Every structure is written in C-alpha cells, then in structure tokens.
C-alpha cells in the first residue's frame, strides 16, 4: 500500500484517488501521525502532499527525520519537496514572483519520467523554490523560470516534484505517479473492487461471527451498498430498517424494497407516511420542517428498535472522505457522519460495523455494481434526508407531494434520455407555493408554479447552475404542464451557490 502524508494541501484526497485509479491501495494520514502509520501499515511507498504554508512560517508542518531514513521510497510534492530539501540539508528560498499555472517541463533522465516526452505540460504553484539541493540529490527537471522543479536521490529512492502530477492539467501526471508506484515501489495493479468485496466479506464474517447486525437503510448509495455487502456476508443475521417517510421520489420506496426484500436479510419497511404528514401538518417554516422530519425519524426508529431490543452491531455507511483527518492544525478533527437523522437509542449494541469507511464515493458505486445492485440505486444522485419534504414549499400535503413526484420524474427522465445526467451533479424539481393564472383548453386555470433546478459541482459547497439546452427545457416544460395536473407554469432556477443554496429550503 501507498501512504499519502498530508501537509494540509487541498489535494490530499485527489492524490489518493489517483493512486487508487492505478489499482493500488492507498490511505491518507496527517503529517503528525506519519511515523506511527509507517510502522503500523508498512507501506511500500510514501507520497508527501503539498500544503498551503511556506516552510518558513512559524506554524508550518514539519516531519521527523526518521521518515527519510526508514528506507521506504518517498515522492514529495510541492510543499513536501521543500520540506524534504530543508530536512536533508539543502536550501529553499522564497520566490520574488510566484510561478503559477501550466508550465513546460524540461526533463532529464529519471525513472519517474520513463516514457514521458520532454516539454510536457505540468501544473505548478510555487511559493518557495529549491536553491540548493541536499547532498546526494540531482535535478531532474526545470522550467523556463526555475532551475530545479524535480529532484531525486536514486540510491535512497527519494524524489521531489515542485509541480502537481495529481491534477488533470499535468498531462503525464498519472504516468509519473504510475512510474513511482509501480516502477519504484514495486506495486501491482491488483486492488480491484472484486478483491475488496471478497476481503470485506471475510472481515465482516470474522468480526460479526454469530452476532446480529442492524442497519438503518435510507435507500441512498452508501447505505444501500452497505446493506448489499452485509447481506452477502451474513445473510439473515442482518436486519435493515427502511423508514419510508413518504417524501421519497416516484417509485423510490418500492425500488429499495425490490432490491433488498429477497436478498436473504431481514428487511423491514416502515410505511410511515401518515405519521410524518400528521406531524408536519400546518408547518411552513423550512427549519421547523427539517427539525420535525428529523425528530420523527428518530421516533420511528425508536419504535422499531423497541421491537428488536438488542443487537450486537450497528452498521453504518460511513465513507472515507468522512473520516480523513485534516493535516493542518493541532488535534485534527474527525467528522462524524450518520446516514440517517439519528440512531436508535433504544437499541443496545457493542460496536459499529463500517465496511465502506476506506472507500471514496465512486468506489462505493463501483462496489455496488460489483455486488449486483441495480444502476438506479448505485448511480443515485445526492438526496437530502428530509426528501421531498423540503422541496414542497409551504405546508406539505399528500396531494402536493404527488404532484411534485410526477413532475420531478419527468424532468429526470428527460435529462437522462438526453444523456445529460452524467454531467449534471444534481437535478430535481421544486413545487413552489405560488399559484398563477393560466389557460388550458380554453379554460382558465389557477395552479402551481414548478421550479426546475440543476447544478454542476464537485463538492456541493459551491455550485454552478447547469446550462441545459433550451430544447430540452422546452420539452420538459411542455411534458410537465401537459401530463401533470395542477401545474400550469414552469421556471428554471438560474442562480448559482452562493448566493443561493442548492435546495430551496
Ligand atoms: P444546499 O441546499 O445546502 O445543499 O446547497 C448541499 C447538498 O446537501 C444536500 N442536502 C442534504 N443532505 N441531509 C442530507 O443528507 C439534509 O438535510 C440535506 N440538506 C441538503 C443537498 O441535496 C445538496 O446535495
């Protein structure tokens, strides 16, 4: 395995993803845990990330010298390289003019540049430059403005790049990483989801033994894949509770039931629509709605949990980005993550089972496919816990939910048919609380305005509204007003996030 040592760079996860794309297992650890992790995990190679700091800053992250002496190949990137230079006796200097963006790389002979053409483009963002190499190192690449942008000490298998091979702008970045991972570290491309599934199933069997496991299944990708994996491993020792709050999209509840009801586990679908609708009667404020839905979720679980009383393990669909610790700051914070609004407090359990906790989202999807889950579950876009409850503006009623479900279905269907669903990260309809006058077959109507929302984003923290072609919008609009009763006007949301959020409530 390859260990990525994080110095607070923004691309720690990206580097790990790129190594895993090479089908080599890889984990990310914060710099202050590097030495312990090396002893514990015995990696075949180490990659230092970049970082936001200059090594001259007072609080700049440092690394123990022993890391360089443990005999394991190291590829340092950007800040990591500057740290390596400084730690091994070379000199780094602040630049007068930051070198930033795409640059051409003049390369020398190096194992890391095998089969890579001279003059290739890489992405660079340099705050400090290498002024003097440490003993035993030679320069292996330069740019127009910098004499040393790559270095190596081949006897000690220590390498440094001042540029970023992990970003797509670096044309041969992936090949350079491959040269390190395969050529220098001797790894093989054998980390596949089929192997992962086998190992994970064995591990679950070993851990759980004859014990009983409970999983709160939301129907989202992570909990669905967790359910599939656990059910393959332990069959009827797994109980899944799927709370259908009535705020699912069209057919979704049935699809989840269909996928799991005969999978060998105990699948409990709680049809709680009436309960939720009752609880939400008269509530119009978005925050109050969210709170009420979250609380009711927990109540439903508790009621089901009381019937089960005790299990040995509680399973969760936690994934890797939720647990990667930050490399910066003292006492790194670990984010906790629950797939549903709450855990059943009334159920006693002795430990957690989190079989996806080392996987990135797209790996979870791949694993789901490997386990035979249908595409409609595996490729599902993010869906908020409160579901359509926060996409019906104003008071939620069964009628409004049904109208929204039908309209949302048409929108999604048309985008999928047009082949746009792969590029748009989230797309859905919102039933506004606004009614306007229209005319249908010569008769006056006074019906709802439906809003369509589609965004492109990588992290959902910021998002750009999607430029859906007019013809597609036109088709969606015509179909919805034609096929769905009580909608007579369609608007398309053209605000990005910020200042808007993705959801309307
Ligand atoms: P906003 O509206 O904050 O949404 O821009 C960002 C992303 O988060 C999703 N979202 C939720 N996900 N529980 C969830 O699991 C929630 O309560 C929730 N609210 C928003 C939203 O769909 C978008 O992907």
**Partners of residue 359 on adjacent β-strands:** none
Cα distance between the two ends of the chain: 43
* Backbone CA torsion sign across 223, 229, 231, 235: negative
| Confidence at residue 342, expressed as pLDDT on a 0 to 100 scale | 45
Position 343 scores a pLDDT of 55
CA triple 349-350-352, angle to 5 deg: 85
String of DSSP letters for 244-298: E-S-PPTTHHHHHHHHHTTSSSEEEEEE-HHHHHHHHTT---HHHHHHHHHHHHH
State residue 324's pLDDT score: 79
Q: Is 224 annotated as a binding residue?
A: yes
Q: Which residues of the chain have pLDDT under 50?
A: 329-342
- Inter-residue contact 292 to 341 (CB < 8 Å): no
pLDDT tens-digit readout, 20-76: 999 999 999 999 999 999 999 999 999 999 987 788 888 899 999 999 999 999 999
Ligand 1 centroid to Cα of residue 170, in Å, is 33
Q: Is 164 an annotated catalytic residue?
A: yes
Q: What is the pLDDT of residue 309?
A: 80
The rounded distance, in Å, linking the Cα atoms of 129 and 276 is: 61
pLDDT of 384? 92
How many angstroms separate the CA atoms of 205 and 294, rounded?
Answer: 33
Which distant-in-sequence residues (6+ apart) come within 8 Å of 398 by Cβ?
246, 273, 277
Rounded distance from Cα 503 to ligand 1 centre (Å) = 7
- Please indicate whether residue 386, judged by its CB atom, sits closer than 6 Å to ligand 1: yes
Query: Contact 216/223 with Cβ under 8 angstroms?
Result: yes
The answer on whether 219 is annotated among ligand-binding residues is yes
Output the pLDDT for position 354: 95
Strands (E) in 52-183, as ranges, are 74-77, 91-104, 106-107, 121-132, 138-142, 150-153, 158-161
C-alpha 226 – ligand 1 centre gap (Å): 21
Q: What is the ipTM of this complex?
A: 0.98
What is the pLDDT, as a whole number, of residue 301? Answer: 85
Domains 2-184 and 391-492 share a fold: no
What pTM, to 2 d.p., does this model score?
Answer: 0.84
Instruction: List the residue whose alpha carbon is closest to atom 19 of ligand 1.
Output: 384
- Catalytic residue (choose from 99, 164, 366, 505): 164
**Which residue has the least CA distance to atom 12 on ligand 1?**
384
CA–CA separation, 138 vs 151, rounded Å?
6
327 is in an annotated binding site: no
**Is any atom of ligand 1 closer than 6 Å to the C-beta of 134?**
no
CA 371, 374, 379: angle at the middle one, nearest 5?
A: 100
Domain boundaries, the chain: 2-184, 193-378, 391-492
Beta carbon of 361 within 6 Å of any ligand 1 atom: no
Any ligand 1 atom below 6 A from CB of 462: no
430 lines ligand 1 (CB under 6 A): no
Ligand 1 pocket residue status of 469, Cβ below 6 Å: no
Give the CATH number of domain 193-378. Answer: 3.40.50.620
Supply the pLDDT for residue 53.
79
Distance from the alpha carbon of residue 221 to the mean position of ligand 1, in angstroms = 15
CATH architecture of 391-492: 2-Layer Sandwich (3.30)
Residue 200 to residues 258, 315, 357: CA-CA distances in angstroms?
Answer: 24, 13, 11
Report whether residue 495 contacts ligand 1, using a CB cutoff of 6 Å: no
Per annotation, catalytic residue among 166, 366, 414, 505:
166
Whether residue 496 is annotated as binding a ligand: the answer is no
- The atom of ligand 1 lying closest to the CA of 383 is 22
Nearest CA to ligand 1 atom 14: 384
Query: How many angstroms separate the CA atoms of 166 and 154, rounded?
Result: 22
**Biggest distance spanned by C-alpha atoms of the chain:** 87
According to CATH, the topology of domain 2-184 is: Rossmann fold (3.40.50)
Assess whether 337 carries a catalytic annotation: no
């Amino acid at each position: 395995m390859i260990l990525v040592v994080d110095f607070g760079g923004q691309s720690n996860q990206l580097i790990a993803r790129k190594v895993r794309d090479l089908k080599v297992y890889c984990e990310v650890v914060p710099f202050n845990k590097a030495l312990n992790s090396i002893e514990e995990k015995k990696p075949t190679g180490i990659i230092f990330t970049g970082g936001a700091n200059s090594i001259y800053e007072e609080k700049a992250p440092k690394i123990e010298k022993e890391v360089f002496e443990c005999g394991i190949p190291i590829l340092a990137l950007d800040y990591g390289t500057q740290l390596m230079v400084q730690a091994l006796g070379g000199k780094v200097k602040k630049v007068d003019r930051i070198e930033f963006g795409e640059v051409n790389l003049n390369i020398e002979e190096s194992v890391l540049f095998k089969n890579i053409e001279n003059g290739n483009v890489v992405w660079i963002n340099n705050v400090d430059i290498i002024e003097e190499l440490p003993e035993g190192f030679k320069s292996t690449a330069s740019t127009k403005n910098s004499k040393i942008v790559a270095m190596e000490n081949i006897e000690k298998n220590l390498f440094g790049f001042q540029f970023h091979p992990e970003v797509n702008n670096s044309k041969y970045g992936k090949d350079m990483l491959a040269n390190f991972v395969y050529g220098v570290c001797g790894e093989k491309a054998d980390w596949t989801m089929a192997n992962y599934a086998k190992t994970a199933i064995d591990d679950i069997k070993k851990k759980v033994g004859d014990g009983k496991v409970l999983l709160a299944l939301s129907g989202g990708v992570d909990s669905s894949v967790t359910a599939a994996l656990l059910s393959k491993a332990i069959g009827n020792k797994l109980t899944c509770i799927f709370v259908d709050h009535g705020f699912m999209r069209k057919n979704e509840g049935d699809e989840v039931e269909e996928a799991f009801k005969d999978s060998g586990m105990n699948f409990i679908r709680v049809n709680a629509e009436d309960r939720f609708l009752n609880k939400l009667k008269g509530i119009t404020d978005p925050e109050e709605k969210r709170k009420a839905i979250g609380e009711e979720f927990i109540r439903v679980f508790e009621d089901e949990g009381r019937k089960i009383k005790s299990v040995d393990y509680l399973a969760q669909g936690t994934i890797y980005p939720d647990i990667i610790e930050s490399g910066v700051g003292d006492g790194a914070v670990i984010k906790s993550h629950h797939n549903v609004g709450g855990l059943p407090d009334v159920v006693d359990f002795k430990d957690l089972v989190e079989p996806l906790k080392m996987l990135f989202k797209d790996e979870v999807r791949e694993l789901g496919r490997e386990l035979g889950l249908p595409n409609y579950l595996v490729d599902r876009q993010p869906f908020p816990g409160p579901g359509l409850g926060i996409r019906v503006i104003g008071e939620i009623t069964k009628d409004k939910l049904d109208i929204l479900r039908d309209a949302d279905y048409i929108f999604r269907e048309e985008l999928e048919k047009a082949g746009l669903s792969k590029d748009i990260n989230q797309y859905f309809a919102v039933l506004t609380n606004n009614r306007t006058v229209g005319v249908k077959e010569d008769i006056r109507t006074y019906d709802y305005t439906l809003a369509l929302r589609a965004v492109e984003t990588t992290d959902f923290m910021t998002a750009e509204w999607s430029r859906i072609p007019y013809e597609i919008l036109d088709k969606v609009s015509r179909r919805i007003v034609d096929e769905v009763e009580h909608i007579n006007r369609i608007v398309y949301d053209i605000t990005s996030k910020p200042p808007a959020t993705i959801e309307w409530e």
